[in-house]
């Protein structure tokens, strides 16, 4: 294959995240062999907060897979000493398996390892296992049926009230100990945490999710088009970003996609809520059907609607996250134990998660485009300018530079705006420790407002505050 063609494919695939991880790795290896891919030239230090997170294994392998990232330090932090020890062993196994002489350190106190950090990856969870049943079961008694409930709705709000104050303390430590570091946030609720950071801190924070990449793959599969041949534009807010353009070779794919979803049940049943929104709003949304149904007032307010549009598991199962999260967490730890004890083999691959590609672009000055959560400085013209939006951003040694998206279709902007108003009040509640602002946030939550009157919402909020009082200091 000609050198120019390898470079073209590599850059195109990475900039658009249009290629699978395997395709990217193959093209990257070819390009490296020709000396046309810049490599990292210095040791870097990464602090990973929340080592018990399932992201840890994936992101560490991704980082060590960066060309030239042969030296550095990964500081692993978790407040749970037992899970920290397991993550430490796993980190050392990955370093050994990949043959990279990185230093792995583990600590329960982030302040002891933050100094000198170039990047901080935030994957913390605050009291999730202890509160997940409260987050789900108390709202359920008021008729609010949640599937995931960790970014929006009563569950998402109370996760924000527990998590945001801790995240802001993390940012204070970053500002004092490693003020030049980039904080790559994976913790939910993404929009609320990023908005609180923008309102309260000078630290460079970027919110990362995989819903854009994942939805791109979904759309390619539904349309029957090779993933790398898709062309699209996507913008909005996290979990509510809209594919406003979707084409192949200059041909609009939406008419064909609508026809398939209307006439082929095997296609429609894979994503009932997203397809229904596409039918009525004109564009496809980035979050999966089950979770998306919580961001909207349409699909979960009556039992017959849940039966019509929601399915089991991730496709909309009632209480799915609350029922499964403790099991997923335990299974993650069991999997790690099998890896570090040699009962299972560690498979090395580089994923499509953005973190390592951001680090690579910043360290090598090789441009890369991600879809990230950043303050709206007029990037999406018809969404609140003081909110946080998810748009394409150019990354190089100058940092993360958001690109101008323009206006969303008005009906799409209105759905995003509704959620952003809830986030605004949630952030006020988190920063000011205001129970009243939290109640008002729930009154503006689309699903909660579709089911309950203001008096019921206030009563439910007070029950949640009482149940979770031990995890909400200052409220």
User: For residue range 356-403, what is the model confidence (pLDDT) as tens digits?
Assistant: 999 999 999 999 999 999 999 999 999 999 999 999 999 999 999 999
From residue 208, give the alpha-carbon distance in Å to each of 54, 190, 353, 393. 15, 8, 8, 11
Name, in order, each residue with C-beta under 8 angstroms of 161's C-beta and a sequence gap of 6 or more: 426, 429, 430, 438, 472, 475
From residue 77, give the alpha-carbon distance in Å to each of 47, 154, 211, 294. 7, 29, 26, 32
Judge contact between 383 and 420, C-beta under 8 A: yes
Is pLDDT of 458 > 80? yes
From residue 273, give the alpha-carbon distance in Å to each of 156, 262, 386, 419. 20, 13, 29, 17
**Rg (Cα) of the chain, in Å, rounded?**
22
Judge contact between 47 and 109, C-beta under 8 A: no
Structure tokens at 443: 């009154």
276-327: pLDDT as tens digits: 999 999 999 999 999 999 999 999 999 999 999 999 999 999 999 999 999 9
Judge contact between 72 and 46, C-beta under 8 A: yes
Phi, psi (rounded to 5 degrees) for 237: -125, 165
Domain ranges of the chain: 3-133+155-211+330-372
Question: What's the mean pLDDT when you consider all of the chain?
Answer: 93
Q: Band of the pLDDT at 243, cuts 50, 70, 90?
A: very high
Count of CB atoms situated within 10 Å of the CB of 397: 11
Q: How large is the average pLDDT for residues 457-464?
A: 98
Judge contact between 310 and 147, C-beta under 8 A: yes
H helix or E strand, kind and range, residue 152:
none
Q: How large is the average pLDDT for residues 192-221?
A: 97
- Cβ-count burial 84-101 (b if 16+ within 10 Å, e if not): bebbbbbbbbbbeebebe
Judge contact between 191 and 423, C-beta under 8 A: yes
Cα torsion angle, 88, 89, 92, 94, sign: negative
Is pLDDT of 19 > 80? no
140-198: pLDDT as tens digits: 999 999 999 999 999 999 999 999 999 999 999 999 999 999 999 999 999 999 999 99
- Residue 10 has what DSSP assignment? H
Q: Band of the pLDDT at 37, cuts 50, 70, 90?
A: low
Q: How large is the average pLDDT for residues 419-433?
A: 98
Q: Which of 204, 42, 14, 213 is nearest to 122 (CA)?
A: 204
Phi, psi (rounded to 5 degrees) for 196: -60, -40
Q: Which of 324, 292, 371 is nearest to 133 (CA)?
A: 324
Judge contact between 388 and 198, C-beta under 8 A: yes
Residues in the chain: 475
Judge contact between 124 and 110, C-beta under 8 A: no
* Helical spans, DSSP H, in 99-210: 128-141, 153-177, 190-200
- β-partners of residue 184 are 121, 206
Structure tokens at 303: 């039992």
Cα–Cα distance, 53 to 65 (Å, whole number): 20
Helix (H, G, I), strand (E, B) or coil at 49: strand
Could you tell me the pTM of the whole model?
0.93
Is pLDDT of 224 > 80? yes
Name, in order, each residue with C-beta under 8 angstroms of 470's C-beta and a sequence gap of 6 or more: none
The predicted pLDDT at position 39 comes to 85
Q: Band of the pLDDT at 51, cuts 50, 70, 90?
A: very high
Is pLDDT of 347 > 70? yes
Cα–Cα distance, 380 to 249 (Å, whole number): 26
Cα–Cα distance, 302 to 370 (Å, whole number): 38
Terminal CA-CA length for the chain: 62
Q: Do the bridges between strand 284-285 and strand 72-77 make them parallel or antiparallel, or are there none, so unpaired?
A: unpaired
Judge contact between 71 and 43, C-beta under 8 A: yes
Is pLDDT of 465 > 60? yes
The DSSP annotation for 74-105 comes to EEEE-S-HHHHHHHHHHHHHHHHHHT---EEE
Q: How large is the average pLDDT for residues 35-47?
A: 83
- Residue 115 has what DSSP assignment? T
The predicted pLDDT at position 422 comes to 98
Cα–Cα distance, 118 to 46 (Å, whole number): 6
Is pLDDT of 26 > 80? no
- β-partners of residue 173 are none
The CA-based angle 161-164-169, given to 5 degrees, is 130
Cα–Cα distance, 30 to 16 (Å, whole number): 19
Q: Band of the pLDDT at 64, cuts 50, 70, 90?
A: very high
CATH fold, domain 3-133+155-211+330-372, is: LDH C-terminal domain-like (3.90.1820)
The predicted pLDDT at position 38 comes to 82
Tell me if residue 365 is catalytic: no
């Amino acid at each position: 294959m000609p050198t120019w063609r390898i470079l073209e494919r590599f850059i195109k695939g990475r900039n658009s995240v249009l290629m699978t991880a395997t395709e990217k790795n193959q093209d990257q290896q070819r390009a490296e062999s020709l000396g046309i891919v810049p490599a990292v030239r210095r040791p870097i230090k990464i602090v990973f907060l929340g080592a018990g997170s399932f992201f840890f294994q994936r992101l560490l392998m991704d980082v060590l897979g960066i060309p030239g990232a042969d030296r550095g330090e990964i500081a692993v932090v978790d407040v749970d000493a037992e899970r920290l020890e397991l993550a430490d062993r796993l980190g050392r196994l990955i370093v050994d398996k990949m043959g990279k002489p990185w230093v792995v350190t583990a600590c329960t106190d982030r302040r002891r390892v933050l100094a000198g950090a170039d990047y901080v990856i935030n994957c913390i969870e605050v009291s999730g296992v202890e509160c997940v049943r409260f987050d789900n079961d108390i709202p359920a008694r008021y008729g609010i049926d949640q599937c995931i409930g960790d970014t929006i709705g009563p569950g998402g709000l109370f996760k924000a009230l527990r998590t945001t104050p801790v995240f802001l303390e993390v940012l204070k430590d970053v500002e004092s100990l490693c003020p030049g570091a980039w904080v790559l946030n994976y913790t939910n609720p993404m929009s609320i945490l990023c908005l609180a950071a923008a309102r309260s801190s000078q630290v460079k924070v970027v919110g990362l999710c995989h819903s854009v990449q994942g939805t791109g793959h979904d759309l390619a599969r539904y349309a029957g088009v090779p993933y790398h041949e898709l062309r699209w534009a996507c913008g909005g807010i996290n979990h509510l970003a809209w594919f406003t353009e979707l084409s192949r070779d200059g041909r609009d794919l939406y008419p064909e996609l609508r026809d398939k979803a209307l006439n082929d049940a095997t296609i429609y049943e894979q994503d009932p809520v997203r397809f229904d929104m596409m039918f009525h709003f004109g564009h496809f949304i980035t979050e999966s059907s089950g979770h998306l149904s919580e961001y909207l007032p349409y699909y979960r307010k009556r039992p017959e609607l849940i039966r019509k549009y929601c399915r089991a598991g991730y496709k909309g199962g009632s209480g799915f996250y609350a029922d499964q999260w403790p099991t997923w967490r335990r299974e993650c730890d069991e999997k790690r134990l099998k890896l570090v004890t040699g009962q299972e083999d560690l498979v090395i691959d580089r994923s499509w998660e953005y973190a390592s590609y951001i680090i690579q672009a910043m360290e090598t000055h090789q441009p890369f485009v991600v879809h990230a959560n950043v303050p709206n400085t007029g990037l999406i013209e018809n969404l609140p300018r003081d909110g946080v939006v998810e748009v394409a951003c150019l990354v190089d040694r100058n940092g993360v530079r958001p690109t101008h998206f323009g206006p969303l279709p008005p009906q799409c902007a209105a759905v995003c705006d509704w959620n952003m108003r809830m986030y605004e009040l949630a952030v006020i509640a988190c920063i000011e420790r205001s129970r009243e602002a939290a109640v008002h946030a729930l009154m503006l939550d689309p699903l909660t407002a579709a089911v309950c009157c203001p008096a019921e919402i206030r009563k439910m909020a007070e029950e949640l505050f009482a149940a979770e009082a031990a995890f909400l200091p200052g409220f």
